[in-house]
Structures are given as C-alpha cells and as structure tokens.
Structure 1
Amino acid sequence: MIFKIVVTTIAFSFCLNAVAQINNTTYPDSIAPVGVIKDISDSALLDIVQRQTFRYFWHYAHPVSGLARERDNTVQGDYYWDYINEAYDEPNFSKKTYGPEACATGGTGFGILATIVAVERKWIGYDTALKRLVKMVDFLNTADSYHGIFPHFMNGATGKTIPFGKLDDGADIVETSYLLMGFLCAKEYFKGDTPLEKYFRNRVTQLWNSANWNWHANGGNTLLYWHWSPMNSFDMNFPIRGYNECLITFIMAASSPTHAISPDVYFNSFVNSASYINDKTYYNIKLPLGFEFGGPLFFEHYTFMGVDPHNLKDWHTDYWEQVVNHTRINRAYCIDNPKKFKGYSENCWGLTASDSYKGYVAHCPQEDVGVISPTAALSSMPYTPEYSMQALKHFYYDLGDKIWGQYGFADGFSEEHNWYAKTHLAIDQGPIVVMIENYRSKLIWNLFMHIPDVQNGLKKLGFKSPFIKKQ
C-alpha cells in the first residue's frame, strides 16, 4: 500500500498543469498532492480529500499577504456577468477579468478555518500556521476597509479594493462576516501564552472591534444593506433579505461588542422577507425556510461552518431540520432529474453556486443547467453522511481522472455537456475542508460556539442552543 501511494503520488505530480505549479520550496510544511488511490478506508479517503483541498489555501495563497486568491483562473464567462447585471441592476457594467492579485475576503475567512483544521490534523505545524495568520491579520489591519468593513475583492499585494461592480467598490458586510468568523475561530484556537499568540489575538481583536456593522443599517432599524461605497454611499440599495447564506452576517453583526445592530434590524430586514418562511414539502420532505426547493446548497454551508445547527432553534425553525431537509431535497431533485441530464443519480448529486460551461451559475433546482458541483454534496457531510460519502466515492473513484487535481475536486462538471472545470474557487474549497471536519470532530463548531460574543449575539436574536449560557 505504501509503495502504491508513493508511485501514484509521483505519477500524479508529473501530470500537474505547469502553469498552476507553485514552487513548494517557498512554503514551509509543503503538502504533496496525490492521485486516485484505490482500496483505502473511508477515514483515509476523507483525510486525502480534506488535505488536498486545503492545498488551495496553503500553496496557492497570495505570496505577499497570505490571503486566499479568489480562483485559480482569471476569466469569468459571459453568463456570470449577465447574472451580476441582472441581480445588481447594472446593465452597463462591463465584463471583467480578475488576475492572480485578486483575493476574496470571504474565501480568506474560509481558508482561515481550513488552516485550523490543517493544524489539528497535523498537515502543517502550529507555529508555521500561526506565522501565516499573523501575516494575514497584519496585512488586513492596513488594507482598505470602510468603517472597518472590507471589500468583496482586494489586491493581495497592495490591500487596495478591486471593485466588484460599478456601485460595489467599497464595503461588503457579508464577505466581512465570513472573514471575521474565520479570525474569531483562530483567536479561540491559538490561545497559548507565547508573545506571538498574544500578538495575533490582539490584532484580531482590533479588526473585530473596528467593524462597524451598524453603519450598514443606514441610520435606522429597518434594513441592513449589503454594500456601502465611499463614492456612492448606499446607492446600490441592496438590502439583505432572508433566507439565504447571510444568516451569519446578522449573527456577527449582533455579536459585535462595539458596533452591534439591534434585533429589530434582523427581524425587519432578514426575517420579514417574502422568501423567508417556506413550510412546504418537496419529495415528501418539509422545508422550513427559503426559496422553492431551498435554493443552492451553499445557503446551508457558509453560516454553518461556524454555527452548530444541532439543537439550534428560534421562534419558528429547528435549524438541524432546515439544513438536513434542504440537502435531502436537493439530492432527491437530482435523482428525480426532471430535465434528464446525463450523470445525475443517487451517487451523483449536488446543486450549488459554482463554475459551469456557461460561467458562474447559482445552480439549484430552479437554475439547473446540468452541472454538478462537488462542494455541494461534500460540504453537506454533517447533514447526510451516508449520501455524501456515496457521492464522494463516485467523484473520487469513478470520475477522478476527470475532476481530481492538485487542489482537490474541480469546481463543477457536466457529463451531459462533456465539460469538466479546470478551476477551483476559494469559497467552494473552504467549506469542503471545514464541513467534513465538523462531521468528523465538530472542531470548528466547538470553537465558534464557545465564543462569548457569539453566544451573546445568538441570544440577542432569539436563538436557543445548548451552547448559549443562561444569564
């Protein structure tokens, strides 16, 4: 078995795309990629998938700042920009390309969480990881931010904002919530008494205390706005409505010890939305919240990378029921396969936002173009472990020659169109590492849910959880 692994690793390494190769000698604790290895245990397979996916954040991080690059290619398809123009009402916003300097604020937060997993699994050293995180937090403390809120994209070498749209050239409160979720967990994890650990925690506290979440309520208690621009103020006019991936944004905003929103903002903006309560059944499965059929599966991944949905409840919803049932509905739709796309099956399922042959698409039952996104099923491992493991084995053993690479699984594929992505995205890679780990050990859940500020925020918004201390 050891000989087989070594031979497979060497053969696979020679096949890697030369353009994407990173000089591993510049990275301490280098992680070698491996190919498809047969006849291994489920535990060993999970190790391989988590570790190789983490390589995206360790070996492809921006060399200056350590931040997570947005993607490992630089071209967006026409379909993506049609989607952006329609969603943000920017018909004159021209198509762009982003180069290797573009780093993702939210993706960086996911990468921080993945780094904690990597240390715990001993893929990289504790001190080595801490030094990388210190470099990142120092960089961000001098990078562009707006009332402490960071932009969607920034230049990983200079810290300058890279506009995401004509009016979106400033603060992105949702992306910032993902970033600070990551840093707060790292602050909780690196709790030693060495000078560097103390320094790191202090720098994270600076970011956390500086973030003015309440600024995005625009002086009222009615709506929380996604964007603010130094040139255009709130002209983008994009309030955060529910139910979707932005639940964590309200939790973080309510948890702030310095600039917290009032609970009224959460209920008026997120809860009081036409697409919040569902309570319908699909494939005989009840869905408490969200769009028809639930929408893309990342709705149940981003928030719940940190927030443990077990026994998490509010006035209407049991969130464990929500995350499990949304996942089961998504899988049931793929098995039903009403559009008869090739490849969909009980072992090949998962619709969420990812690259496609049309560009970037928020795949879901209502936006189904025949593309399966591996992150959808794999990041659902805590919710549907049997079904997610079936999908993982199919992706790895049966399709590995087409979709397995140096950073884990390709972002998406379509057997119907004989299309297999060559790309990886930070916001899709991170949840795979973290959610598989939450399934295996609850590592990130336990870190995040033990943070006193987070407990206070959840309590303020009316959540009940075993983690919330009674006062």
Structure 2
Amino acid sequence: MPASAALQRHPLSRPSPSAPESGGPFNHPCYRQSSAPPPPPGAPNCRAVSLSLGRWLRTAPGPFRCHSQARCDGAMLALALLAAILGFSDPVDDFDSGPPKGPRLCRFFGPMGEWHDGASVADWQLLPDPVAGGRFMRLTFLAADGTAGCGVYFLLGPEAEDLSPTLSARDLRRYSALSLRMRGAVPDAQAILIELTDGDARHVLVPLPRPSASWAELAIPLDVFAVVDLSRLRKIALVLPPCGAATPSRLDIDDLALISGEPAPSSDDALLDLMERRAWEFFRDGFHAGTGLVWDKSSTPHISSIAATGFGLAALPVAAERGWLKPQDAVSLARRCLSTLLSAPQGEAPDTAGAHGFFYHFLDARNGRRFGDCEVSSIDTALLVVGAVACGEGLADLPGGADIREMAARLATSVEWPWMLDPSRKVFWMGWQPERGFFGSWDYYTDEALLICLLAASSPSHPVPPDVAWAWRRERGSYGGQSLVQTYCGSMFSYLFCSLFIDLRNRTDRHPTDPIDWWANARAAALANLAFCRSQEKDFVTYRKGRFGLSACLAPGTAPWEERYDGDYGALPAAVGPHHDGTLAPYAAAMCLPLFAGQDNPALTALWSFWRDCPRLWGLYGFRDGCNLGRTDSPADDWYASDYVGVCQGPLILGIENFRTGLVWKLTDKSPILRKGRDALFK
C-alpha cells in the first residue's frame, strides 16, 4: 500500500512534512499499491483496526490512556511496558551475534542487510553496549530526495526455496506486538517506518515516533498490520524515506523482538510445555522439503545430521500426540525421510550416503549424500536407527503408519554391525572413512557405547553377541558424595543418550562379575555435575542459582560473535579434565528431569533459573544451545549461543516427554527389535 495511506491510517501516526503522496517520487516497491492477492478472508480492514486501536488507546485504564490522537506516539512506550508485564518475547535480532560488519543472520536465521537507492546511503555496524550488555546496531544514513530512500531488512528465514515450507514464511499469529529500542539524531522531517511483508508480497508500513538522544522502548501492536497475512510473514524492514537532508543522520536500534501473546509460564508444566513445543518447532522447520532429512543446525539448513534426523523422527509421534502436528503430516514426514534413507546409495566409494548400512555423520540435505569429508559414524547411525524405530511404533496405528514401522524395521535390519566391530578387542569402531579406514574405538564407558551394543544385539539380520557390552572399561570415580562409573570427559549427555530412548529404570546389566544399574549411575552423575557446578560458582557466574549442565554444546569462540562446538565440556568424576569454562547447556538439565521424578527436582530448579535469570538465552526455538555469564566485569561480554543444534534439541524433547508421560520409553518398549537387545543386555 502507498506509504501515505499507511501514515493516514495508522492511529499512532503524526503529520510529517516528508510523507509521500501517491504517485510521487518514491519508487521503492513498498510505496506502490500492491498487486498481490487480496487479504485472506476475514482479515479486518486496516482502517477499522486503526480506529479500534485508537479508541482503545483513548479509553485504556491508567497510564495507557491517550486522550488525544496527538499523544498516541507515547502510547508505543506504554505498550512496551504492558507487553513486558503480560508476556515474553522472541528476538528477531538482538545484534549480539555475527561480525560487526558484513553478512550475518538475524535470530530467525534469515539474512539481515541494508538497502539504498540512487544517491541515498545506508551503512550499519554493531557496537558494544557497556550498560545493557550485548551490542546494538548503529545505522548511518542519508535518505536523498528523488530516490526511494534506504533502510535495513530482516528476512524471517533462509532464502533457499527447497527447505521446509514453514521456513519460507513464518506464522506470527501467536505474537501480539513488535518491539524495539531506538535512539538517534535525525532531522525533524525524517520519517521512520516499520514495514511487514508477507509471503504474497502484501506489505504495510507503520510510522515510528521521532527518536531522542536517549533509548526509548517501543511496541507496535501487530493488529495495525492487518492487511498482511501474519500466518505467512516473510520480512520485517526499517524504511527511511527521503526528507531533503543534506548531511547523514544516525539511528541506533536494539532488541528488535516479537512479543508473545501467550502469558509467561507460571507453573512447572507450563514451562516444560513451552520448552518442549519450541524445541519441536526446530524439527518442524528442519525436515527438508525434498528429502525429509533434518538440519544439523538452524544456521546451516542444507547440512543434515543423521543423529538429528533420528531425534527428529522420534519427536514426530510426540508432536502428533500433543496436537502440535496433524497425524497425517507426521506420517508424511516420516515416509519422506525414511524413503530417502532406504533408497540412498551405499558403498565404500566416497560419494555415497554410507557403507554397509551405516551412514555418514553429515549428509547433504538436498540429495542425501555425504557432506564434505565426514566419517561413517557408528553412534550417529545408532541414534538414527533407534529414533526411526521409535517413530515407527508411535505412528503404526495411524492411517499409513504400518508402512512407517515396516520401513523403520528395514532400516534397522540393513545395518551390518559386525563390519564396524574390531574383532580382536570386541569393541566397536567410532567411525570409518574411505580415505583412512577405521579409527577410534568405543573402549571406555559411555551411554553411547551402551546404545550401540544394545542395537547390535537387537539386529534381526546382523547381530553381535551381547558380551561386547562387557568389553569396554568401567572405571569408577567419585565427586560430591556420588560414586559412579565415570565417562571419559564427564559430559552429561554421555550418561543419558541410551536412557533417553530405552527405559532402564529398575534394571541392571548382565555383566558376569560387575553388574551395573545404569539408571542409578546416570542419576549419580547428574548430582555430581550439580555438585561440581556449586563448587565452582564463586569463579563462574553461570553456575550460580542452582544452574548446572556441563555437557557438549556450542561454546564461545575467539571473537565475541564467534562460536564453536565443544564436545568435551564435563564435570568430575572423569578420566580426563574436567574441561569447563563457565558454559552451560540448558538441554543437559532437561535430560536429567526423569532422573528425579517424584522428588525435589534439581533439574527443574536449573531450568527455572535459566528462564528467569538468563533472558537473552531464550529465542525462536526456546533455550539456545548454551550461555556463559560473567566472563568479565562488563555485561557486554556475557555470551549466549546464537544457534540451535539438533543433537541438543532432540534430547531436550525426549527428556521432557519421558518426565511428563514416559511416551518415548513406551514406544521403544513396544518394539520386538529393541526388546530383544534390551533383554539380552539387561535383567
């Protein structure tokens, strides 16, 4: 719609000498009458919404009342306060990630950038905020006359069109308002507009108040963008139309966010439901539209992790059971994914999907073949197989679901476990590459090795004797009053990956001389992890207020905006280390929830502390992968991961769901294949 129409209709607008007239010199597409399809049926008229909002602002109670149209600019500040009281927000861009200049992704994992036309200029950089912490964006611009002006944009998903349909245009109907912080020095005549564009190119512009030298928090109700389809939103932009200024102006923006229309969680179940649902949305968006393979990380949508794919498959029946996904869609996604895996080329050539039924750690999500020079992985294949079997059992009773169970069984049957076994030591290799052969070995206790041995003993076609589970070392250690069989690095995930899928409560293994209750062992490891964090909280702020969860996760990089994956984070007891630097992973605490069911639960305490005391940790898919607080005296140096990782989001879902209902355990318990391996190893 023309900008002049937006300025006239929006109730928070005020007259501007630079307001463009229809047919004037503005030729940027956002100023033209849209030729896109009409609004969806039932969408309210923008003028009616504006009048309704204007009436509300003039009749609202207390500090939110605006007695005249001229005072409605101030209502944006009041709405920001109201939103802070009533709900919580998901950042579109808090400008804390990415380099100070150059290509970067916003928090919805689409590109952010500037645009300008003709003689107009727009240049941005990210600067540290020594007071509030993190960084903000400084935009230096000159919106020259005779042009379409300039601005910055934020795409709400990747630009590629072959990904999940939910990524090409976001459903924002659960949000009530768009908020931001703003300050600057701009000419009186300079208009500042927020533009929303949907998947059909419908767009609406809404003016913002003129900024002052101090930070102001604003909130714009999404109702005023009624012409756009909020169920399919594609882009948010800051538009600076020309105003005749001869010198550049400065505008600072921070904390661009969408305010949820949901109330903030006030009970344990509400918090867990919110966390689990948001983590599921990572997988909903991560199933590739063509192959059905799941992305490894939200920032790399064309790289699939087969372990993340296994977790995504296991999450499908959870999502269907909870009503987050239509049952027929769960069956369709599972069929697409399993069809790709079952038809993918296998062999010892370097350009296949795997060898001898095992799969490469990473696959190209577009074609299902090896990505880069990664290895054929025993543990990642195990996570894929057990997730597929759980999925098959969970969908078996749905229309078409029997096929999913049969396909999952075929996938499990195809794995040639003896090929990955070192016969001289009776331990499994970690991986194989055509360029180097076998390498690494599972010769020290970890729950991953336990899962591999259980699946190998389960195989209908290529079984391995269960005594391979007695071949790796079982070394005991103690910390914080807890004695247990330790893992190599003491990382929390390494005690729980098998137990996420297989119910090991009240069971001991069949070791002839040293039987172990691995469930009790994991519980002792969680208490030791908590005790270790408490012992270090004087030096590491992140470990305070009951927070724990030293486990593999994203970690701070060399530069403040860089991050890397660190698989060695852990606590005592451990064979090496402990390796830690103040970084905690919320998913690790979530995995521990079932360990303390029916009693005072330290994992719940930790999750509430992450929620209440680490607000910048929350984002589009729930808690991000990790955080590290108090690294220096400046809050600007607190670090929060910018990304989400499939092998962390999946354990969070399974840990929460097993704590709430035990659903995943019930599904794997129905599988004759998995029961065979469980009963061979456990009593």
TM score, norm. by length of structure 2: 0.58
Per-residue CA distance 1:308-367 (angstroms, 9 max, x = gap): 121120242112210111000000100111771123124221100001113222211200
Match of 2:327 in 1: 126
Q: Give the partner amino acid of 1:377.
A: A
Pairing 1:353–2:552 present: yes
Distance 1:290 1:219, change over 3 A: closer
Once the two structures are TM-superposed, the CA of residue 390 in structure 1 deviates from its matched residue by 1.0
Give the partner amino acid of 2:525. H
CA drift of 1:277 comes to 2.7
- How do residues 220-231 of structure 1 correspond to structure 2 at under 5 angstroms? 222-231=426-435
Structure number with higher helix proportion = 1
- What residue is the counterpart of 1:324 in the other structure? 523
Residues 32 and 255 of structure 1, relative CA distance in 2, 3 Å threshold: farther
Q: 1:14 to 1:218 in 2, by over 3 A?
A: closer
* CA distance in structure 2 between the aligned counterparts of 1:135 and 1:205, rounded to whole angstroms: 16
- Distance (Å, rounded) in 1 between the aligned partners of 2:538 and 2:398: 58
Q: Indicate how the Cα distance of structure 1 residues 264 and 18 shifts in structure 2: closer, same or farther if over 3 A, else same.
A: closer
Q: Out of 370, 378, 389, which is 1:173 matched to?
A: 378
Paired residues of 2:317 and 2:391 also in contact (CA < 8 A): yes
Q: Do the aligned residues in 2 keep the contact of 1:185 with 1:448 (CA within 8 Å)?
A: yes
1-structure distance, mates of 2:680, 2:269: 39
The aligned amino acid for 1:436 is I
Check conservation: 2:593, 2:655, Cα contact below 8 A. yes
In structure 2, the residue matched to 1:298 is 493
Larger Rg: 2
Per the alignment, residue 77 of structure 1 pairs with none
1:17 is aligned to 2:107? yes
1:112-169, Cα deviation, whole Å (9 max, x unpaired): 112221111111111111101100001111221211111100001111111454xx3x
- Count of aligned residue pairs for this structure pair: 419
Matched residue SS, 1:141 = helix
Q: Deviations over 1:423-453 (max 9, x none)?
A: 1100001111111110111110111123222
Flag the structure with more relative contact order, 1 or 2, with Cα contacts below 8 A and sequence separation at least 6. 1
Contact 1:221 1:262 in 2 (8 A): no
Structure 1 unaligned regions, length at least 5: 74-98, 465-471
Matches within 5 A, 1:17-416: 17-20=107-110, 21-22=156-157, 24=166, 35=260, 37-38=263-264, 40-73=266-299, 99-143=300-344, 144-163=353-372, 165=374, 168=375, 171-192=376-397, 194=399, 196-218=400-422, 222-234=426-438, 237-244=439-446, 245-268=448-471, 270=472, 273=473, 276-278=474-476, 280-291=477-488, 295-314=490-509, 315=511, 316-337=515-536, 340-358=539-557, 359-361=564-566, 362-365=568-571, 366-384=578-596, 386-400=601-615, 402-416=616-630
Cα offset for 1:61? 2.7
Call closer, same or farther: CA 1:25–1:173 in 2, change over 3 Å.
closer
In 2, are the aligned partners of 1:327 and 1:384 still within 8 Å (CA)? no
Pairwise CA distance, 1:231:
4.1
Q: CA deviation at 1:232?
A: 3.3
Work out whether residues 328 and 384 of structure 1, in 8 Å CA contact, stay in contact via their aligned partners in 2: no
Query: Which residue of structure 2 aligns with residue 88 of structure 1?
Result: none
C-alpha distance in 2 between matches for 1:193 and 1:118: 14
Residue 12 (structure 1) shift: 3.7
Alpha-carbon contact 2:91-2:619 (below 8 Å) kept: no
Give the conservation status (yes or no) of the 8 Å contact 1:29–1:123.
Answer: no
Cα distance between partner residues in 2 of 1:29 and 1:198: 32
Q: Counterpart amino acid of 2:479?
A: Y
Paired residue type of 1:448: T
Secondary structure of the residue aligned to 1:162 is coil
> Cα deviation per residue 1:71-108 (whole Å; 9 max; x = unaligned)?
123xxxxxxxxxxxxxxxxxxxxxxxxx4311001111
> CA separation in 1, counterparts of 2:90 and 2:519?
39
Q: Distance in 2 between matches of 1:414 and 1:118?
A: 31
Q: Distance in 1 between matches of 2:173 and 2:422?
A: 46
The question of whether the paired residues in 2 share the 8 Å contact of 1:24 and 1:30 is answered with no
Within 2, Cα distance between the matches of 1:31 and 1:181? 35
Q: Which residue of 2 aligns with 1:426?
A: 646
Asked whether the equivalents of residues 356 and 421 of structure 1 are also in contact (C-alpha less than 8 Å), the reply is yes
Q: Does the C-alpha gap of structure 1 residues 6 and 120 become closer, same or farther in structure 2, counting only changes over 3 Å? A: farther
Alpha-carbon contact 1:69-1:104 (below 8 Å) kept: yes
Change (3 A) 1:338 1:185: same
Q: Which residue of 1 aligns with 2:11?
A: none
| 2:119 equivalent in structure 1 | none
Distance 1:425 1:252, change over 3 A: same
Quick one: structure 1 residues 407 and 450, their matched pair in 2 at CA, closer, same or farther if it must change by over 3 Å? same
CA offset digits 1:39-63 (Å, max 9, x no partner): 5221111111100111110013323
2:451 partner amino acid: I
- More strand per residue: 2
Kept in 2, the 8 Å contact 1:217–1:224? The answer is: yes
Task: Specify the code of the residue in structure 1 equivalent to 2:648.
Answer: D
Q: In structure 1, the residue corresponding to 2:593 is in which secondary structure? A: coil
Contact map agreement 2:320 2:330 (CA 8 A) in 1: yes
Identity of aligned residues (%): 26
Q: Which runs of 5+ in 2 are unaligned?
A: 1-81, 94-105, 111-155, 158-164, 176-258, 345-352, 558-563, 572-577, 632-637
Question: Does the C-alpha gap of structure 1 residues 155 and 46 become closer, same or farther in structure 2, counting only changes over 3 Å?
Answer: same
Task: Provide the alpha-carbon RMSD of the alignment.
Answer: 2.7
Q: Is the 8 A contact 2:315 2:654 kept in 1?
A: yes
Alignment of 1:437-452 (within 5 A): 437-452=657-672
Q: TM-score, normalised by structure 1?
A: 0.82
Q: Would the aligned equivalents of 1:104 and 1:152 in 2 still touch at CA under 8 Å?
A: yes
Call closer, same or farther: CA 1:330–1:18 in 2, change over 3 Å.
Answer: closer
Structure 2 SS opposite 1:390: helix
**Cα distance, 1:393 vs. partner?**
1.1
Matched-pair contact (CA < 8 Å) for 1:119–1:126: yes
CA distance in 2, matches of 1:411, 1:130: 29
